[in-house]
Chains A and B, each alone.
Chain A
Amino acid sequence: MSGFNYRAIWSIYKFELHRFSRTLLTGLLVPVITTSLYFVVFGGAIGSRMTQIDGIDYAAFIVPGLIMMSMFTESIFNASFGIYMPKFAGTIYELLSAPVSATETVIAYVGAAATKSLSVGTIIFVTAHLFVDVHVEHPVAMAAFMVLIAVSFCLFGFILGIWAQSFEQLQVIPMLLIMPMTFLGGAFYSVHMLAEPWRTITLFNPIVYLVSGFRWTFFGRGDVGIEFSLLFIAAMLAVCLTAIGWVFRTGYRLKK
Protein backbone atom coordinates (compact mmCIF):
# COMPACT_ATOMS: atom_id res chain seq x y z
CA MET A 1 0.00 0.00 0.00
CA SER A 2 1.18 3.48 -0.66
CA GLY A 3 -0.21 6.95 -0.78
CA PHE A 4 -2.13 8.87 1.79
CA ASN A 5 -3.88 6.74 4.39
CA TYR A 6 -7.04 8.82 4.65
CA ARG A 7 -8.98 5.84 6.02
CA ALA A 8 -6.69 5.78 9.05
CA ILE A 9 -7.31 9.47 9.63
CA TRP A 10 -11.03 8.93 9.42
CA SER A 11 -10.87 5.95 11.80
CA ILE A 12 -8.92 7.83 14.44
CA TYR A 13 -11.10 10.90 14.02
CA LYS A 14 -14.26 8.86 14.51
CA PHE A 15 -12.72 7.04 17.45
CA GLU A 16 -11.91 10.33 19.16
CA LEU A 17 -15.32 11.85 18.51
CA HIS A 18 -16.84 8.68 19.88
CA ARG A 19 -14.71 9.11 22.98
CA PHE A 20 -16.01 12.68 23.37
CA SER A 21 -19.57 11.53 22.81
CA ARG A 22 -19.34 9.31 25.87
CA THR A 23 -19.24 12.49 27.94
CA LEU A 24 -21.43 14.49 25.60
CA LEU A 25 -23.81 15.81 28.18
CA THR A 26 -21.19 17.13 30.57
CA GLY A 27 -19.08 18.20 27.63
CA LEU A 28 -21.87 20.49 26.45
CA LEU A 29 -23.36 21.49 29.76
CA VAL A 30 -20.11 22.60 31.37
CA PRO A 31 -19.40 25.40 28.89
CA VAL A 32 -23.01 26.57 29.04
CA ILE A 33 -22.97 26.68 32.82
CA THR A 34 -19.55 28.33 33.13
CA THR A 35 -20.46 30.94 30.57
CA SER A 36 -23.69 31.70 32.41
CA LEU A 37 -21.79 31.99 35.68
CA TYR A 38 -19.29 34.38 34.15
CA PHE A 39 -22.11 36.53 32.90
CA VAL A 40 -23.80 36.56 36.26
CA VAL A 41 -20.59 37.44 38.11
CA PHE A 42 -18.69 39.59 35.66
CA GLY A 43 -21.42 40.79 33.37
CA GLY A 44 -24.02 41.37 36.07
CA ALA A 45 -22.20 42.21 39.27
CA ILE A 46 -19.10 43.93 37.98
CA GLY A 47 -20.46 45.05 34.65
CA SER A 48 -23.18 47.05 36.36
CA ARG A 49 -20.44 49.32 37.72
CA MET A 50 -18.11 49.31 34.75
CA THR A 51 -20.67 49.67 31.99
CA GLN A 52 -18.16 50.29 29.17
CA ILE A 53 -14.60 49.54 28.10
CA ASP A 54 -13.23 51.28 25.01
CA GLY A 55 -16.77 52.18 24.16
CA ILE A 56 -17.99 48.57 24.32
CA ASP A 57 -20.56 47.25 26.77
CA TYR A 58 -18.67 45.32 29.43
CA ALA A 59 -20.87 42.23 29.11
CA ALA A 60 -20.23 42.14 25.38
CA PHE A 61 -16.57 43.00 25.89
CA ILE A 62 -15.89 39.77 27.79
CA VAL A 63 -17.52 37.46 25.22
CA PRO A 64 -14.44 36.98 22.99
CA GLY A 65 -12.27 36.48 26.08
CA LEU A 66 -14.64 33.86 27.43
CA ILE A 67 -14.69 31.95 24.18
CA MET A 68 -10.92 32.07 23.93
CA MET A 69 -10.46 30.95 27.50
CA SER A 70 -12.62 27.88 27.09
CA MET A 71 -11.12 27.06 23.75
CA PHE A 72 -7.58 27.20 25.15
CA THR A 73 -8.36 24.77 27.94
CA GLU A 74 -10.59 22.51 25.82
CA SER A 75 -8.02 22.28 23.05
CA ILE A 76 -5.13 21.50 25.33
CA PHE A 77 -7.11 19.11 27.46
CA ASN A 78 -8.68 17.11 24.65
CA ALA A 79 -5.65 16.91 22.42
CA SER A 80 -3.29 15.99 25.23
CA PHE A 81 -5.62 13.30 26.55
CA GLY A 82 -6.24 11.96 23.07
CA ILE A 83 -2.62 10.93 22.63
CA TYR A 84 -1.73 10.44 26.29
CA MET A 85 -4.42 7.80 26.91
CA PRO A 86 -3.19 5.31 24.27
CA LYS A 87 0.31 5.80 25.63
CA PHE A 88 -0.91 5.21 29.15
CA ALA A 89 -3.15 2.24 28.28
CA GLY A 90 -0.60 0.74 25.90
CA THR A 91 -2.99 0.77 22.95
CA ILE A 92 -0.55 3.04 21.13
CA TYR A 93 1.16 -0.15 19.93
CA GLU A 94 -1.47 -0.41 17.26
CA LEU A 95 -0.96 3.09 15.94
CA LEU A 96 2.80 2.64 15.88
CA SER A 97 2.55 -0.65 14.01
CA ALA A 98 0.03 0.63 11.46
CA PRO A 99 0.91 2.13 8.09
CA VAL A 100 0.13 5.62 9.32
CA SER A 101 2.47 8.56 8.87
CA ALA A 102 3.20 11.29 11.40
CA THR A 103 1.22 13.78 9.34
CA GLU A 104 -1.81 11.52 9.23
CA THR A 105 -1.62 10.90 12.98
CA VAL A 106 -1.46 14.61 13.74
CA ILE A 107 -4.28 15.48 11.34
CA ALA A 108 -6.51 12.85 12.94
CA TYR A 109 -5.89 13.61 16.61
CA VAL A 110 -5.58 17.36 16.28
CA GLY A 111 -8.53 17.47 13.89
CA ALA A 112 -10.76 15.62 16.36
CA ALA A 113 -9.70 17.71 19.34
CA ALA A 114 -10.10 20.91 17.33
CA THR A 115 -13.59 19.83 16.30
CA LYS A 116 -14.55 19.43 19.93
CA SER A 117 -12.98 22.70 20.92
CA LEU A 118 -14.71 24.55 18.07
CA SER A 119 -18.07 23.15 19.12
CA VAL A 120 -17.47 24.35 22.65
CA GLY A 121 -16.49 27.78 21.35
CA THR A 122 -19.66 27.89 19.29
CA ILE A 123 -21.81 26.82 22.23
CA ILE A 124 -20.40 29.63 24.33
CA PHE A 125 -20.96 32.09 21.55
CA VAL A 126 -24.60 31.01 21.30
CA THR A 127 -25.07 30.98 25.09
CA ALA A 128 -23.64 34.49 25.30
CA HIS A 129 -26.46 35.69 23.10
CA LEU A 130 -28.90 34.76 25.83
CA PHE A 131 -27.30 37.36 28.07
CA VAL A 132 -26.08 40.08 25.84
CA ASP A 133 -26.40 41.47 22.37
CA VAL A 134 -23.12 40.75 20.60
CA HIS A 135 -22.53 42.14 17.21
CA VAL A 136 -19.67 40.60 15.23
CA GLU A 137 -17.99 42.97 12.85
CA HIS A 138 -15.88 40.44 10.93
CA PRO A 139 -17.71 37.08 11.07
CA VAL A 140 -15.48 35.32 8.55
CA ALA A 141 -12.34 36.49 10.33
CA MET A 142 -13.92 35.41 13.59
CA ALA A 143 -14.54 31.87 12.33
CA ALA A 144 -11.08 31.68 10.82
CA PHE A 145 -9.56 32.93 14.04
CA MET A 146 -11.39 30.27 16.04
CA VAL A 147 -10.14 27.56 13.71
CA LEU A 148 -6.56 28.83 13.95
CA ILE A 149 -6.71 29.01 17.72
CA ALA A 150 -8.25 25.55 17.98
CA VAL A 151 -5.63 24.03 15.71
CA SER A 152 -2.63 25.69 17.31
CA PHE A 153 -3.68 24.93 20.86
CA CYS A 154 -4.57 21.37 19.93
CA LEU A 155 -1.12 21.00 18.41
CA PHE A 156 0.31 22.30 21.64
CA GLY A 157 -1.87 19.88 23.62
CA PHE A 158 -0.78 17.02 21.39
CA ILE A 159 2.87 17.78 22.17
CA LEU A 160 2.03 18.02 25.84
CA GLY A 161 0.34 14.62 25.71
CA ILE A 162 3.39 13.07 24.09
CA TRP A 163 5.73 14.72 26.57
CA ALA A 164 3.73 13.89 29.71
CA GLN A 165 4.65 10.72 31.53
CA SER A 166 2.07 10.99 34.29
CA PHE A 167 -1.36 12.46 34.82
CA GLU A 168 0.24 15.09 36.98
CA GLN A 169 2.53 16.26 34.22
CA LEU A 170 -0.47 16.32 31.94
CA GLN A 171 -2.26 18.75 34.26
CA VAL A 172 0.65 20.86 35.38
CA ILE A 173 1.16 22.94 32.23
CA PRO A 174 -2.49 23.86 31.74
CA MET A 175 -2.96 24.64 35.42
CA LEU A 176 0.26 26.45 36.20
CA LEU A 177 0.99 28.13 32.91
CA ILE A 178 -2.00 28.48 30.62
CA MET A 179 -4.64 29.28 33.24
CA PRO A 180 -2.77 32.17 34.90
CA MET A 181 -1.64 33.48 31.54
CA THR A 182 -5.21 33.48 30.33
CA PHE A 183 -6.50 35.27 33.39
CA LEU A 184 -3.77 37.87 33.03
CA GLY A 185 -4.20 37.93 29.28
CA GLY A 186 -6.91 40.51 29.12
CA ALA A 187 -9.91 38.24 28.84
CA PHE A 188 -11.84 40.37 31.33
CA TYR A 189 -10.20 43.75 30.96
CA SER A 190 -8.40 45.88 28.47
CA VAL A 191 -4.64 46.12 28.75
CA HIS A 192 -5.06 49.89 28.60
CA MET A 193 -6.77 49.76 31.99
CA LEU A 194 -3.57 48.59 33.66
CA ALA A 195 -1.03 50.94 35.19
CA GLU A 196 2.66 50.80 34.34
CA PRO A 197 4.75 48.68 34.74
CA TRP A 198 2.04 46.01 34.49
CA ARG A 199 0.94 47.24 31.15
CA THR A 200 4.37 46.63 29.62
CA ILE A 201 4.85 43.37 31.46
CA THR A 202 1.52 42.13 30.17
CA LEU A 203 2.71 42.63 26.64
CA PHE A 204 5.10 39.72 27.19
CA ASN A 205 2.13 37.46 27.73
CA PRO A 206 1.36 35.80 24.40
CA ILE A 207 -2.27 35.26 25.36
CA VAL A 208 -2.81 39.03 25.22
CA TYR A 209 -2.21 38.96 21.48
CA LEU A 210 -4.61 36.10 20.92
CA VAL A 211 -7.45 37.54 22.99
CA SER A 212 -6.89 40.95 21.48
CA GLY A 213 -6.93 39.58 17.94
CA PHE A 214 -10.13 37.69 18.58
CA ARG A 215 -11.70 40.77 20.11
CA TRP A 216 -10.76 42.66 16.98
CA THR A 217 -12.90 40.30 14.88
CA PHE A 218 -15.86 41.23 17.10
CA PHE A 219 -15.47 44.97 17.57
CA GLY A 220 -12.96 46.05 14.96
CA ARG A 221 -10.39 46.98 17.58
CA GLY A 222 -8.22 45.29 20.17
CA ASP A 223 -5.47 46.01 22.67
CA VAL A 224 -2.78 45.48 20.06
CA GLY A 225 -2.87 45.60 16.29
CA ILE A 226 -4.46 42.60 14.53
CA GLU A 227 -1.24 42.09 12.55
CA PHE A 228 0.60 41.31 15.80
CA SER A 229 -2.05 38.79 16.71
CA LEU A 230 -1.80 37.05 13.36
CA LEU A 231 1.98 37.07 13.54
CA PHE A 232 1.80 35.48 16.93
CA ILE A 233 -0.55 32.69 15.85
CA ALA A 234 1.63 32.00 12.84
CA ALA A 235 4.68 31.78 15.10
CA MET A 236 2.89 29.46 17.49
CA LEU A 237 1.77 27.18 14.66
CA ALA A 238 5.28 27.09 13.26
CA VAL A 239 6.84 26.23 16.62
CA CYS A 240 4.31 23.48 17.32
CA LEU A 241 4.65 21.96 13.86
CA THR A 242 8.43 21.98 14.14
CA ALA A 243 8.25 20.35 17.56
CA ILE A 244 5.89 17.66 16.28
CA GLY A 245 8.09 17.01 13.28
CA TRP A 246 11.01 16.52 15.64
CA VAL A 247 8.98 14.25 17.93
CA PHE A 248 8.13 11.91 15.11
CA ARG A 249 11.57 12.00 13.53
CA THR A 250 13.24 10.99 16.75
CA GLY A 251 10.42 8.87 18.14
CA TYR A 252 10.68 10.98 21.28
CA ARG A 253 8.65 9.33 24.06
CA LEU A 254 6.66 7.37 21.52
CA LYS A 255 9.15 4.73 20.44
CA LYS A 256 11.91 3.28 22.52
Chain B
Amino acid sequence: MLPPRFFTARLIAGWPGLLFLLALAAAAILVPLSNLVLPPSSPWHVPTHLVVLIGKWLCYALLAIALDLVWGYCGILSLGHGAFFALGGYAMGMYLMRQIGTRGVYGHPVLPDFMVFLNWKELPWYWYGFDQFWFAAIMVVAVPGALAFVFGWFAFRSRVTGVYLSIITQALTFALMLAFFRNDMGFGGNNGLTDFREILGFGVREQGTRAALFAITCAALAAGFLIARWIVTSRFGLVLVAIRDAESRTRFLGYRVDRYKLFVFVVSAMMAGVAGALYVPQVGIINPGEYAPTNSIEAVIWVAVGGRGTLVGAALGAFVVNAFKTWMTGAMPEVWLFALGALFVLVTLFLPKGILGTIRARRRQPAAQPQAATSPAPAPATAEQGP
Protein backbone atom coordinates (compact mmCIF):
# COMPACT_ATOMS: atom_id res chain seq x y z
CA MET B 1 0.00 0.00 0.00
CA LEU B 2 1.18 3.52 -0.70
CA PRO B 3 2.38 5.58 2.20
CA PRO B 4 -0.65 7.43 3.50
CA ARG B 5 1.11 10.74 3.04
CA PHE B 6 -0.97 11.90 0.14
CA PHE B 7 -4.61 12.00 0.88
CA THR B 8 -5.76 11.42 -2.66
CA ALA B 9 -3.15 8.81 -3.44
CA ARG B 10 -4.36 6.86 -0.46
CA LEU B 11 -7.94 6.96 -1.64
CA ILE B 12 -7.57 5.79 -5.19
CA ALA B 13 -4.42 3.72 -4.84
CA GLY B 14 -4.49 0.50 -6.83
CA TRP B 15 -5.97 -0.28 -10.20
CA PRO B 16 -9.28 -1.76 -9.00
CA GLY B 17 -10.24 1.42 -7.19
CA LEU B 18 -9.21 3.64 -10.05
CA LEU B 19 -10.98 1.49 -12.60
CA PHE B 20 -14.07 1.38 -10.44
CA LEU B 21 -14.25 5.16 -10.10
CA LEU B 22 -13.64 5.67 -13.81
CA ALA B 23 -16.34 3.17 -14.69
CA LEU B 24 -18.79 4.90 -12.38
CA ALA B 25 -17.99 8.30 -13.83
CA ALA B 26 -18.41 6.97 -17.35
CA ALA B 27 -21.69 5.25 -16.48
CA ALA B 28 -23.04 8.34 -14.74
CA ILE B 29 -22.55 10.37 -17.90
CA LEU B 30 -22.95 7.93 -20.77
CA VAL B 31 -25.92 5.84 -19.64
CA PRO B 32 -28.31 8.76 -19.05
CA LEU B 33 -27.05 10.47 -22.19
CA SER B 34 -27.60 7.44 -24.36
CA ASN B 35 -30.99 6.81 -22.80
CA LEU B 36 -32.19 10.37 -23.30
CA VAL B 37 -30.51 11.48 -26.50
CA LEU B 38 -30.12 8.45 -28.73
CA PRO B 39 -33.17 7.15 -30.59
CA PRO B 40 -34.44 3.74 -29.45
CA SER B 41 -33.43 2.32 -32.81
CA SER B 42 -29.75 3.02 -32.19
CA PRO B 43 -27.68 0.02 -31.11
CA TRP B 44 -26.10 2.26 -28.43
CA HIS B 45 -29.41 3.21 -26.91
CA VAL B 46 -29.84 2.05 -23.30
CA PRO B 47 -33.54 1.35 -22.77
CA THR B 48 -35.18 2.76 -19.67
CA HIS B 49 -35.89 -0.61 -18.11
CA LEU B 50 -32.16 -1.31 -18.23
CA VAL B 51 -31.37 2.06 -16.67
CA VAL B 52 -33.67 1.16 -13.79
CA LEU B 53 -32.24 -2.35 -13.48
CA ILE B 54 -28.63 -1.20 -13.36
CA GLY B 55 -29.61 1.64 -11.04
CA LYS B 56 -30.99 -0.99 -8.68
CA TRP B 57 -27.73 -2.94 -8.82
CA LEU B 58 -25.80 0.22 -8.04
CA CYS B 59 -27.85 0.57 -4.85
CA TYR B 60 -27.08 -3.04 -3.99
CA ALA B 61 -23.40 -2.34 -4.63
CA LEU B 62 -23.51 0.47 -2.09
CA LEU B 63 -25.15 -1.88 0.41
CA ALA B 64 -22.42 -4.42 -0.34
CA ILE B 65 -19.69 -1.88 0.37
CA ALA B 66 -21.41 -0.95 3.63
CA LEU B 67 -21.57 -4.60 4.63
CA ASP B 68 -17.98 -5.23 3.61
CA LEU B 69 -16.87 -2.41 5.85
CA VAL B 70 -18.16 -4.21 8.93
CA TRP B 71 -17.75 -7.80 7.84
CA GLY B 72 -14.71 -7.77 5.59
CA TYR B 73 -12.68 -5.35 7.64
CA CYS B 74 -13.97 -5.75 11.18
CA GLY B 75 -15.25 -9.31 11.22
CA ILE B 76 -18.79 -8.35 12.22
CA LEU B 77 -20.91 -10.71 10.14
CA SER B 78 -24.17 -8.81 10.06
CA LEU B 79 -27.06 -10.89 8.78
CA GLY B 80 -29.38 -7.94 9.18
CA HIS B 81 -27.98 -5.22 7.00
CA GLY B 82 -31.06 -5.37 4.85
CA ALA B 83 -32.87 -3.76 7.79
CA PHE B 84 -30.81 -0.58 7.52
CA PHE B 85 -31.31 -0.56 3.77
CA ALA B 86 -35.06 -0.93 4.22
CA LEU B 87 -35.22 1.75 6.92
CA GLY B 88 -33.52 4.22 4.59
CA GLY B 89 -35.94 3.11 1.91
CA TYR B 90 -38.96 3.66 4.13
CA ALA B 91 -37.74 7.14 5.08
CA MET B 92 -37.56 8.02 1.40
CA GLY B 93 -40.86 6.26 0.76
CA MET B 94 -42.58 8.35 3.42
CA TYR B 95 -41.39 11.51 1.70
CA LEU B 96 -42.63 10.23 -1.64
CA MET B 97 -45.99 9.28 -0.12
CA ARG B 98 -46.49 12.75 1.23
CA GLN B 99 -45.68 14.24 -2.16
CA ILE B 100 -48.70 12.45 -3.62
CA GLY B 101 -51.04 14.93 -1.90
CA THR B 102 -54.52 15.15 -3.35
CA ARG B 103 -53.61 12.98 -6.34
CA GLY B 104 -54.21 9.81 -4.31
CA VAL B 105 -57.23 7.60 -4.85
CA TYR B 106 -59.04 9.23 -1.94
CA GLY B 107 -57.67 12.68 -2.69
CA HIS B 108 -56.91 13.45 0.93
CA PRO B 109 -54.54 16.43 1.13
CA VAL B 110 -52.48 15.08 4.04
CA LEU B 111 -53.19 11.43 4.73
CA PRO B 112 -51.75 8.77 2.43
CA ASP B 113 -54.35 6.47 0.89
CA PHE B 114 -53.73 3.53 3.19
CA MET B 115 -54.44 5.68 6.25
CA VAL B 116 -57.72 6.90 4.80
CA PHE B 117 -58.55 3.31 4.01
CA LEU B 118 -57.88 2.39 7.65
CA ASN B 119 -60.19 5.20 8.71
CA TRP B 120 -57.40 7.16 10.36
CA LYS B 121 -58.29 10.76 10.98
CA GLU B 122 -54.91 12.19 11.72
CA LEU B 123 -51.36 11.80 10.57
CA PRO B 124 -49.32 9.86 13.19
CA TRP B 125 -46.61 11.98 14.80
CA TYR B 126 -43.79 10.00 13.22
CA TRP B 127 -44.99 11.01 9.78
CA TYR B 128 -44.52 14.69 10.60
CA GLY B 129 -41.80 16.44 8.69
CA PHE B 130 -41.64 13.91 5.90
CA ASP B 131 -43.31 16.32 3.52
CA GLN B 132 -39.96 18.15 3.54
CA PHE B 133 -37.20 16.60 1.48
CA TRP B 134 -34.41 17.82 3.74
CA PHE B 135 -36.08 16.22 6.75
CA ALA B 136 -36.53 12.91 4.97
CA ALA B 137 -32.93 13.07 3.76
CA ILE B 138 -31.71 13.44 7.33
CA MET B 139 -33.93 10.56 8.48
CA VAL B 140 -32.50 8.37 5.72
CA VAL B 141 -29.20 8.31 7.61
CA ALA B 142 -30.38 9.18 11.12
CA VAL B 143 -32.84 6.33 11.61
CA PRO B 144 -30.56 3.48 10.48
CA GLY B 145 -27.67 5.18 12.30
CA ALA B 146 -29.65 5.46 15.54
CA LEU B 147 -30.82 1.87 15.40
CA ALA B 148 -27.28 0.68 14.69
CA PHE B 149 -26.02 2.79 17.57
CA VAL B 150 -28.47 1.42 20.11
CA PHE B 151 -28.07 -2.13 18.87
CA GLY B 152 -24.29 -1.89 18.70
CA TRP B 153 -24.03 -0.17 22.06
CA PHE B 154 -25.55 -3.16 23.82
CA ALA B 155 -24.11 -5.89 21.63
CA PHE B 156 -20.51 -4.69 21.46
CA ARG B 157 -20.28 -3.60 25.10
CA SER B 158 -21.39 -7.00 26.27
CA ARG B 159 -18.89 -8.49 23.84
CA VAL B 160 -21.36 -10.45 21.80
CA THR B 161 -19.43 -11.76 18.81
CA GLY B 162 -19.40 -14.40 16.10
CA VAL B 163 -22.42 -16.55 15.47
CA TYR B 164 -24.38 -15.03 18.34
CA LEU B 165 -24.05 -11.56 16.93
CA SER B 166 -25.03 -12.79 13.46
CA ILE B 167 -28.12 -14.45 14.87
CA ILE B 168 -29.30 -11.37 16.72
CA THR B 169 -28.78 -9.16 13.66
CA GLN B 170 -30.91 -11.64 11.76
CA ALA B 171 -33.50 -11.53 14.51
CA LEU B 172 -33.46 -7.74 14.32
CA THR B 173 -34.39 -7.62 10.66
CA PHE B 174 -36.95 -10.40 11.15
CA ALA B 175 -38.60 -8.50 13.99
CA LEU B 176 -38.72 -5.35 11.88
CA MET B 177 -40.29 -7.28 9.04
CA LEU B 178 -43.07 -8.58 11.31
CA ALA B 179 -43.61 -5.11 12.74
CA PHE B 180 -43.83 -3.45 9.34
CA PHE B 181 -46.29 -6.05 8.13
CA ARG B 182 -48.78 -4.82 10.73
CA ASN B 183 -51.25 -2.26 9.45
CA ASP B 184 -51.44 -0.42 12.77
CA MET B 185 -47.72 0.38 12.60
CA GLY B 186 -48.66 3.04 10.09
CA PHE B 187 -46.28 2.10 7.29
CA GLY B 188 -48.78 0.67 4.88
CA GLY B 189 -48.76 -2.92 6.13
CA ASN B 190 -47.90 -5.63 3.65
CA ASN B 191 -48.55 -3.37 0.67
CA GLY B 192 -45.88 -1.00 1.86
CA LEU B 193 -45.53 2.40 0.28
CA THR B 194 -46.08 2.82 -3.45
CA ASP B 195 -47.86 4.79 -6.20
CA PHE B 196 -45.32 7.57 -5.89
CA ARG B 197 -45.76 10.64 -8.09
CA GLU B 198 -43.06 13.20 -7.58
CA ILE B 199 -39.64 13.65 -6.12
CA LEU B 200 -38.58 17.27 -5.63
CA GLY B 201 -41.24 18.25 -8.15
CA PHE B 202 -40.10 15.83 -10.87
CA GLY B 203 -42.29 12.94 -11.88
CA VAL B 204 -40.67 9.73 -10.60
CA ARG B 205 -41.69 7.75 -13.64
CA GLU B 206 -40.37 10.24 -16.14
CA GLN B 207 -37.44 9.21 -18.24
CA GLY B 208 -35.40 12.27 -17.29
CA THR B 209 -35.95 11.69 -13.57
CA ARG B 210 -34.92 8.08 -13.90
CA ALA B 211 -31.77 9.07 -15.76
CA ALA B 212 -30.96 11.66 -13.09
CA LEU B 213 -31.55 9.16 -10.29
CA PHE B 214 -29.20 6.80 -12.07
CA ALA B 215 -26.44 9.40 -12.23
CA ILE B 216 -27.00 10.35 -8.58
CA THR B 217 -26.76 6.70 -7.57
CA CYS B 218 -23.43 6.42 -9.40
CA ALA B 219 -22.21 9.44 -7.48
CA ALA B 220 -23.48 8.05 -4.17
CA LEU B 221 -21.74 4.76 -4.79
CA ALA B 222 -18.49 6.56 -5.60
CA ALA B 223 -18.85 8.64 -2.45
CA GLY B 224 -19.60 5.57 -0.35
CA PHE B 225 -16.58 3.86 -1.80
CA LEU B 226 -14.32 6.83 -1.06
CA ILE B 227 -15.59 7.16 2.51
CA ALA B 228 -15.09 3.45 3.13
CA ARG B 229 -11.69 3.60 1.50
CA TRP B 230 -10.70 6.57 3.61
CA ILE B 231 -11.69 4.67 6.74
CA VAL B 232 -9.93 1.43 5.89
CA THR B 233 -6.70 3.08 4.78
CA SER B 234 -6.41 5.15 7.95
CA ARG B 235 -4.81 4.00 11.17
CA PHE B 236 -8.38 3.37 12.28
CA GLY B 237 -8.56 0.83 9.46
CA LEU B 238 -5.48 -0.92 10.80
CA VAL B 239 -7.25 -1.25 14.13
CA LEU B 240 -10.37 -2.61 12.41
CA VAL B 241 -8.45 -5.41 10.75
CA ALA B 242 -6.58 -6.05 14.00
CA ILE B 243 -9.94 -6.47 15.74
CA ARG B 244 -11.10 -8.81 13.02
CA ASP B 245 -8.03 -11.03 13.31
CA ALA B 246 -7.23 -10.87 17.04
CA GLU B 247 -9.84 -9.00 18.98
CA SER B 248 -8.56 -9.69 22.46
CA ARG B 249 -4.97 -8.86 21.50
CA THR B 250 -6.18 -5.49 20.28
CA ARG B 251 -7.65 -4.79 23.71
CA PHE B 252 -4.32 -5.50 25.37
CA LEU B 253 -2.81 -2.81 23.17
CA GLY B 254 -5.22 -0.37 24.79
CA TYR B 255 -7.88 -0.07 22.08
CA ARG B 256 -11.52 0.07 23.14
CA VAL B 257 -12.77 -2.52 20.72
CA ASP B 258 -16.44 -1.83 21.42
CA ARG B 259 -16.11 1.82 20.36
CA TYR B 260 -14.35 0.93 17.14
CA LYS B 261 -17.01 -1.58 16.27
CA LEU B 262 -19.78 0.81 17.19
CA PHE B 263 -18.37 3.58 15.01
CA VAL B 264 -17.92 1.45 11.94
CA PHE B 265 -21.27 -0.27 12.44
CA VAL B 266 -23.09 3.06 12.57
CA VAL B 267 -21.28 4.43 9.50
CA SER B 268 -22.10 1.25 7.65
CA ALA B 269 -25.78 1.38 8.63
CA MET B 270 -26.02 4.96 7.40
CA MET B 271 -24.47 3.99 4.11
CA ALA B 272 -26.96 1.14 3.77
CA GLY B 273 -29.74 3.63 4.53
CA VAL B 274 -28.63 5.86 1.66
CA ALA B 275 -28.57 2.85 -0.64
CA GLY B 276 -32.16 2.02 0.34
CA ALA B 277 -33.28 5.60 -0.13
CA LEU B 278 -31.93 5.68 -3.69
CA TYR B 279 -33.44 2.29 -4.42
CA VAL B 280 -37.04 3.19 -3.57
CA PRO B 281 -37.74 5.98 -6.12
CA GLN B 282 -36.15 3.87 -8.84
CA VAL B 283 -38.15 0.69 -8.22
CA GLY B 284 -41.24 2.63 -7.17
CA ILE B 285 -42.14 0.63 -4.07
CA ILE B 286 -40.95 -0.31 -0.60
CA ASN B 287 -42.67 -3.05 1.37
CA PRO B 288 -41.86 -5.19 4.42
CA GLY B 289 -40.43 -7.85 2.13
CA GLU B 290 -37.27 -5.75 2.04
CA TYR B 291 -36.69 -6.72 5.68
CA ALA B 292 -36.80 -10.41 4.81
CA PRO B 293 -33.82 -12.23 6.34
CA THR B 294 -33.01 -13.70 2.93
CA ASN B 295 -32.28 -10.21 1.58
CA SER B 296 -29.60 -9.69 4.21
CA ILE B 297 -28.17 -13.11 3.52
CA GLU B 298 -28.06 -12.39 -0.19
CA ALA B 299 -26.05 -9.26 0.54
CA VAL B 300 -23.55 -11.37 2.47
CA ILE B 301 -23.24 -13.64 -0.54
CA TRP B 302 -22.54 -10.69 -2.85
CA VAL B 303 -19.65 -9.68 -0.63
CA ALA B 304 -18.36 -13.24 -0.34
CA VAL B 305 -18.48 -13.70 -4.11
CA GLY B 306 -16.78 -10.39 -4.87
CA GLY B 307 -14.20 -10.77 -2.14
CA ARG B 308 -14.62 -9.60 1.40
CA GLY B 309 -12.07 -7.15 2.59
CA THR B 310 -11.93 -5.62 -0.90
CA LEU B 311 -14.33 -2.73 -1.38
CA VAL B 312 -14.39 -2.90 -5.15
CA GLY B 313 -14.87 -6.64 -4.87
CA ALA B 314 -17.97 -6.17 -2.74
CA ALA B 315 -19.51 -3.86 -5.33
CA LEU B 316 -18.49 -6.22 -8.12
CA GLY B 317 -20.04 -9.14 -6.26
CA ALA B 318 -23.34 -7.29 -6.00
CA PHE B 319 -23.29 -6.74 -9.74
CA VAL B 320 -22.27 -10.26 -10.71
CA VAL B 321 -24.72 -12.05 -8.44
CA ASN B 322 -27.60 -9.78 -9.36
CA ALA B 323 -26.90 -10.11 -13.07
CA PHE B 324 -26.95 -13.85 -12.51
CA LYS B 325 -30.16 -13.52 -10.52
CA THR B 326 -31.86 -11.46 -13.22
CA TRP B 327 -30.96 -14.02 -15.84
CA MET B 328 -31.90 -16.94 -13.61
CA THR B 329 -35.24 -15.61 -12.41
CA GLY B 330 -36.09 -14.97 -16.04
CA ALA B 331 -34.99 -18.37 -17.30
CA MET B 332 -35.99 -20.66 -14.41
CA PRO B 333 -37.36 -18.71 -11.46
CA GLU B 334 -38.07 -21.70 -9.24
CA VAL B 335 -34.40 -22.73 -8.98
CA TRP B 336 -33.00 -19.33 -8.08
CA LEU B 337 -32.71 -19.94 -4.33
CA PHE B 338 -31.00 -23.26 -4.92
CA ALA B 339 -28.67 -21.64 -7.41
CA LEU B 340 -27.84 -18.95 -4.88
CA GLY B 341 -27.08 -21.57 -2.25
CA ALA B 342 -24.95 -23.52 -4.70
CA LEU B 343 -23.10 -20.36 -5.67
CA PHE B 344 -22.30 -19.66 -2.05
CA VAL B 345 -21.04 -23.18 -1.47
CA LEU B 346 -18.94 -23.11 -4.64
CA VAL B 347 -17.39 -19.76 -3.78
CA THR B 348 -16.66 -20.86 -0.22
CA LEU B 349 -14.98 -24.03 -1.47
CA PHE B 350 -13.14 -22.87 -4.55
CA LEU B 351 -12.86 -19.12 -4.27
CA PRO B 352 -12.66 -18.41 -0.53
CA LYS B 353 -11.19 -14.98 -1.15
CA GLY B 354 -13.84 -14.09 -3.70
CA ILE B 355 -13.23 -12.80 -7.19
CA LEU B 356 -11.16 -9.76 -6.40
CA GLY B 357 -9.41 -11.32 -3.42
CA THR B 358 -8.23 -14.15 -5.64
CA ILE B 359 -6.99 -11.81 -8.35
CA ARG B 360 -5.20 -9.75 -5.74
CA ALA B 361 -3.54 -12.79 -4.21
CA ARG B 362 -2.44 -13.96 -7.67
CA ARG B 363 -0.86 -10.63 -8.47
CA ARG B 364 0.93 -10.44 -5.15
CA GLN B 365 2.29 -13.95 -5.14
CA PRO B 366 5.04 -13.67 -7.77
CA ALA B 367 6.35 -10.53 -6.11
CA ALA B 368 6.13 -11.82 -2.57
CA GLN B 369 7.60 -15.26 -3.06
CA PRO B 370 11.28 -14.50 -3.70
CA GLN B 371 11.17 -11.98 -0.89
CA ALA B 372 9.73 -14.53 1.51
CA ALA B 373 12.33 -17.07 0.49
CA THR B 374 15.29 -14.84 1.23
CA SER B 375 13.91 -12.85 4.12
CA PRO B 376 14.12 -15.05 7.19
CA ALA B 377 17.88 -14.84 7.04
CA PRO B 378 19.00 -15.40 10.61
CA ALA B 379 20.36 -12.34 12.29
CA PRO B 380 24.12 -12.46 12.79
CA ALA B 381 24.69 -13.74 16.26
CA THR B 382 27.26 -11.30 17.47
CA ALA B 383 26.77 -9.59 20.75
CA GLU B 384 28.10 -6.32 19.37
CA GLN B 385 25.10 -6.06 17.11
CA GLY B 386 22.75 -6.37 20.03
CA PRO B 387 20.81 -3.46 21.39
* A is bound by B: no
